[in-house]
Amino acid sequence: MVSETPQPGSTRPRFRFAQGVSTSADAAIAVEEIAEQVQQVAEPDLLFVFISAHHAEEAAQIGAALGRAVRPGTLLGTTAGAVIAGARELERTPGVSVLAAHLPGVDIHPYCSESLTHSTAEGEAGARAVRELIGATPLLRSTILFADPFSTPLTRLLPTLNAARLPDRNGRPAGSIIGGMASGGVKAGENTLLYNNRAITSGFVGVSLSGPIRVDAVVSQGCRPIGENMVITKAKNNVIYELGGRPALNVLRDLLDILGENERELLKRGLFVGRVVSEYKDNLGRGDYLIRNVAGVNPKTNFIAVHDLVRVGQTVRFHIRDAQTAEEDLELVLNAQQLYGPPAGVLLITCTGRGRNLFDHRHHDASTIQRAFQDDPPGEERAKGGRVLDTGARGIPLAGFFAAGEIGPVGDASYLHGHSACAVMFRE
């Protein structure tokens, strides 16, 4: 699948994207199949590579072989529990998926955490070091990174990355921060990150894109709120002791007593706390919360522990996972993107908790994105009841993976999300 973007005022193609995928369990065959599929974008400027856990032990060899066969200017990738290609989400099967891009005029700046010479602790020194690492300038459009969850302290790194960006001509932070955590490995050293001709098992790798390219990132979360907004009145670290002056667990018990049967059924998928991103907004919608898992409760002390640091004064609301809400959210953010026309290529980073773990049919997120940018096909061609949308020549080159955490923007800053889908749209 290949796309071409014509240069303004000319019929000559400028940006070119190609998608390649193989479901072969043989690594050598997978490389051969993919190289043939992306050959129309000869020696691409950028190649994203995603390798399923079935090939984890051969990830380094696959990355090196693709580098030799495709000859990209920059190669970046990660292993994952499952990969995504076109309109398909290749869960529970071997898979290698790539997105090749020819981006003339775009400054492509790859980086690796091993190059850091200063601590990424909070403060201006850390911001300067990270700014230099990612090549941040006022012309930065996006920095895309993949990280190992066992060795990358994202709670410290992301605020530093946000602070490292310079103002653009409008005075806002230039460039979005996008990415995902490697998945598939269950302990340190089992994930592999690809960085040009190297394979590393810790830290993070990334690439910054600057200049004449538009990069839009949309984040769709798979949870819906229950109950009312509440202010944290007593907390320490990741523990909420009081909400609105009452013991936190008592507040939760009261909420559970009034839930309907359907909401109680959804609770079996887990309970979450949504933290309001901006306390200055009056009308809060679904996308205004950062969703965090409830790690546990203590009936003796009536506290609730969450997978995030919390503080007094923050506004929170309980959430539950809901496939219908996840579907509506994704369609809503894609509707806004339709105003800009079809992208030349897409990266899709979705949570391991989505896919078949959330929806009652396969390929939900990938096929939803493909449908969003196509004319409505005849009924027999639509993807319903788990059928894969036949995108044919009309499809958008798309590749991605199921992540152990998704990095995407909310407002001017980026955060680590859970249970979300982050779609990255590349345009002229």
Judge if 38 and 175 occupy the same domain: yes
Say if residue 260's pLDDT is above 60: yes
Give the global pTM: 0.89
Q: Find how far residue 133's CA is from the centre of its chain.
A: 21
Closest CA to 102 of 40, 36, 34, 41: 41
Domain boundary among 321, 344, 367: 321
pLDDT tens digits along 40-71: 999 999 999 999 999 999 999 999 999 999 99
Say if residue 391's pLDDT is above 50: no
Distance between CA atoms of residues 92 and 157, nearest Å: 31
Instruction: Specify the 3-state DSSP secondary structure of 346.
Output: strand
The size of the chain, in residues, is 428
Residue 401, C-beta contacts closer than 8 angstroms, at least 6 positions apart? 50, 78, 80, 81, 82, 83, 84, 97, 180, 183, 349, 350
Domain boundary among 302, 321, 340: 321
Instruction: Specify the 3-state DSSP secondary structure of 83.
Output: strand
Say if residue 382's pLDDT is above 90: no
Judge if 217 and 227 occupy the same domain: no
DSSP-derived secondary structure for 92-155: TS--EEEEEEE-TT-EEEEEEGGG--S---SSHHHHHHHHHHHT--TTEEEEEEEE-TTT--HH
Q: CA of 338: how far to CAs of 299, 309, 332, 342, in Å?
A: 48, 36, 10, 7
Domain boundary among 270, 293, 321: 321
Judge if 212 and 75 occupy the same domain: yes
Judge if 262 and 317 occupy the same domain: yes
Q: How many CB atoms lie within 10 A of CB 338?
A: 10
Instruction: Specify the 3-state DSSP secondary structure of 79.
Output: strand
Q: Is 171 left (phi over 0), alpha (psi -120 to 50) or beta?
A: left
Judge if 214 and 255 occupy the same domain: no
Judge if 205 and 275 occupy the same domain: no
Spell out where 277-340 has E strands. Answer: 289-298, 303-306, 315-321
| Cβ neighbourhood burial of 44 (10 Å; 0-12, 13-18, 19+) | buried
- DSSP single-letter state for residue 354: S
Judge if 334 and 292 occupy the same domain: no
State percent of the chain over pLDDT 70: 92
- Which is more confident, 378 or 161? 161
Instruction: Please give the helix or strand (H or E) that residue 265 lies within, else none.
Output: helix 261-266
Instruction: Specify the 3-state DSSP secondary structure of 379.
Output: helix
pLDDT tens digits along 207-219: 999 999 999 999 9
Domain carrying residue 198: 2-221+326-427
Judge if 154 and 242 occupy the same domain: no
Judge if 267 and 280 occupy the same domain: yes
Query: What six digits make up the tokens of 212?
Result: 């004449």
C-beta separation of 84 from 51 below 8 A: no
Distance between CA atoms of residues 319 and 398, nearest Å: 30
Judge if 265 and 119 occupy the same domain: no
Domain count, the chain: 2
Judge if 385 and 290 occupy the same domain: no
pLDDT at 284: 77
Say if residue 318's pLDDT is above 90: yes
Say if residue 315's pLDDT is above 80: yes
Judge if 167 and 287 occupy the same domain: no
- The top-scoring range by mean pLDDT among 11-20, 115-124, 264-273, 395-404 is 395-404
C-beta separation of 259 from 287 below 8 A: no
